[in-house]
Amino acid sequence: MRVAFVSLYTDQRRSDGATQRLRRVAERLAARGHDVFICCAKWWEGPIDAFEQNGVEYVGVVETPAVRSFASRLPFALRRVSPDVIHCTNSPPSQVVAAKTAARFLRVPVVVDWWARRDDDTDRMTRRAATGANRVIAPSRLVKTEARECGAPADAVTLVPESIDFDLVREAEVDNRADLVYARRLDEHANAETFLLALAELRDREWRAVVIGDGPERDAVERTAADLRIDDRVSFLGDLTPEEYVPILKGARVFAQTATVEPFARELLWALACGCVGIVEYQARSSAHELVENFDRGVRVTSPQELADEVAAAAAHEPASVNEAFAGYDHEQILESFLRIYRSEIDEFGFF
């Protein structure tokens, strides 16, 4: 199968949830033997218009990220690639509209992976992107609702969650350095302070905590730990690879999820698969609570005090380092979900 991904930004240039997801899916499709292309703004140096990495061919549509010129040139790039299916990220929405224009001539379907709107995405273009796709994919019910509010028909939106390497979860060693873990990019939505406030409520108990992740708010979060006088019991580990943080999760008892914005809480998924008790602070713009609904090793809270209470209550759970209930989120199984959607849309498009 020839799959053309469309994203003005790529993980190499601007790493976020949407671009990371696109890269993982593209590289895993390429590893399966499919012909995979990513039409994007160039992120590599030199005069060449295409660059191959990890089996994926990146096609430079524009030299630098420019929404209008990317949309105007995209149909020509897609014609050269000649894909069986076009897979777009939802933002900027003009790239979806341009891809749909090319798809009419190529007679192929357009699948849109909906993640989040960016601040400069206009309502009109976002609606055109939502209504113009043959299929919209959402990682969570929260995002599915947002896509529908933007105009996507209910029967055109399919849930495909994020994925993890469950073999790594099974095979990794156990690192017992921490009892409590927070993990996420430390940006304006991280809300790690709630986690630290809960720990401060428990300063008379024995515990060790780690914060995994980096970002523009890291210094502020570290200052908060110092102000609360718990910095001697909280280790800030920075960015870690899954191979580095999975052993820590397997040795921990509790994972706290407090971010205010989260289309899909992938770090929480890793933690639950590693046997952690997941404590999720409910946030209107976060889907994290969806992972712990009807799950006996997960609970929702609404304040630092409630979080502290549930941390104490987590001692009643038996220690665990693997939870097979989350094996269905393995990379290969989720990749099959994408492939089923591609094949279904190709067959339906050809039929009509």
**Model confidence band, residue 48 (pLDDT cutoffs 50, 70, 90):** confident
- pLDDT for 350 equals 65
Contact 240, 204 (CB under 8 A): no
The answer to whether 68 and 91 have CB atoms below 8 angstroms apart is no
The model's pTM is 0.95
pLDDT tens for each residue of 60-114: 999 999 999 999 999 999 999 999 999 999 999 999 999 999 999 999 999 999 9
Q: Quick one: pLDDT at residue 110?
A: 98
Closest CA to 327 of 176, 168, 182, 180: 168
Q: State in words which class domain 166-327 has.
A: alpha beta
Reported as a single tens digit per residue, the pLDDT across 152-196 is 999 999 999 999 999 999 999 999 999 999 999 999 999 999 999
Q: How far apart are CA 86 and CA 135, in angstroms?
A: 11
Question: What are the domain boundaries of the chain?
Answer: 2-163+330-351, 166-327
* CATH hierarchy code of domain 2-163+330-351: 3.40.50.2000
Portion of the chain with pLDDT greater than 90, in percent: 95
Indicate the average pLDDT of the chain.
Answer: 96
Examine domains 2-163+330-351 and 166-327 and report if their fold is the same. Answer: yes
Q: 338 and 266 in contact (C-beta within 8 Å)? A: no
What are the pLDDT digits (tens) for 285-331? Answer: 999 999 999 898 999 999 999 999 999 999 889 999 999 999 999 99
Q: How is 1-46 classified by DSSP, letter by letter?
A: -EEEEE-SS-TTTS-SHHHHHHHHHHHHHHHTT-EEEEEEE--S-S
